[in-house]
Amino acid sequence: MSNQPIICVENVSFAYQVNQDQQIPVLQNVSLEVYPGEYLAIIGHNGSGKSTLSKHLNGILTPLEGNVLVNGINTRDKGRIHEVRSRVGMVFQNPDNQIVATIVEDDVAFGLENIGVFAEEMKDRIDFALDAVGMSAFRHRPPHHLSGGQKQRIAIAGILAMKPQCLVLDEATSMLDSYGRQDILAVVRKLHREGMTIVTVTHHMSEVAEADRVVVMEAGKVVLQGTPREVFAHQEKLKELHLDVPDASRIAALVHSEYPAFNPNLIHNEEVVA
Ligand code: ADP
């Protein structure tokens, strides 16, 4: 891992403005760095601010106080927001909300059209992105015929086509069945092995165990961070935060276990029958 972070979150505070005189404070003085090639998991109880923090990582939200820098670009600089977004891509919870086109390849091309990529390069990037998520065979299909996991893979392909350095997944598996979840985890694991920086917001401890580093949030603050093994050792604190703590034997099996290599043929390609 290089010493230059891709993302620097510096003393960020944030509140949602609900009406003229009411604000909901959510993040309080959060600092965090994301380094090239690392796999970072953000966990915490519902409402602790994980999603709000993740939306700061590519400028969807702008801090009330403090700064977020992506490769040195301040996300407040709206003139450079396309650069920020092409470097840090986000996948959200609901796959249906992320599909914009009626054919898979058009959906993957959507972001590329917005940044004016030429036709030849666009084709190469779509080929690369669909191959990376094991969905090349679905190129000419309508996305609404796909399963939730497959739609999420198309959403990831749309981001990969932009050639980002970092992929942020905000509870990206939470609306999927266990097959869909395993599909997405296999894709994410493969991308990480190939060098992609991953930030994942999750409440699944098995996903947390795969990360290089875990950040635990409570009431808008980072209260714990470290390797999965270090964080899992704080059993009392995790229980206090209502986080499901794996027992010691499961931790040993989860942490640093060897996962099988990515094999698109093992991904569940069955279609949802309408
Ligand atoms: P988490 O991802 O940890 O569940 P969130 O970042 O989604 O937490 O939410 C943190 C707090 O901010 C919660 O109290 C939530 O109700 C509030 N919140 C989230 N989104 C909005 C919004 N768009 N408007 C007002 N309050 C919000």
Q: How far apart are CA 20 and CA 54, in angstroms?
A: 25
Residue 122 CA to ligand 1 center (angstroms) comes to 36
Q: Is residue 24 within 8 Å of residue 16, measured between CB atoms? A: yes
Q: Is residue 130 within 8 Å of residue 107, measured between CB atoms? A: no
| Whether the predicted interface score ipTM is above 0.85 | yes
pLDDT, tens digit, 9 for 90 and up, residues 199-212 = 999 877 778 888 99
Task: Decide: 47 in ligand 1 pocket, CB within 6 A.
Answer: yes
Q: Pocket of ligand 1, candidates 24, 50, 57: which has the most ligand atoms within 8 Å of its Cβ, to mutate?
A: 24
Where in the chain are the domains? 7-266
C-alpha distances in Å from residue 210, one per residue of 111, 149, 177, 260: 29, 19, 20, 13
Q: Pocket of ligand 1, candidates 12, 13, 14, 16: which has the most ligand atoms within 8 Å of its Cβ, to mutate?
A: 16
pTM, to two decimals: 0.89
Superfamily of domain 7-266: P-loop containing nucleotide triphosphate hydrolases (3.40.50.300)
Q: How far apart are CA 217 and CA 50, in angstroms?
A: 7
Q: Which residues pair with 226 in a beta bridge?
A: 214
Q: Per-residue pLDDT for the chain (274 aa), expressed as one digit of tens each?
A: 557 999 999 999 999 999 989 999 999 999 999 999 999 999 999 999 999 999 999 999 999 999 999 999 999 999 999 999 989 999 999 988 888 999 999 999 998 988 888 989 999 999 999 999 999 999 999 999 899 999 999 999 999 999 999 999 999 988 888 888 888 888 899 999 999 999 999 877 778 888 999 999 999 999 999 998 889 888 888 889 888 776 655 665 555 444 444 444 444 444 443 3
Q: 207 is written with which tokens?
A: 């996903």
Q: Is residue 119 within 8 Å of residue 113, measured between CB atoms? A: no
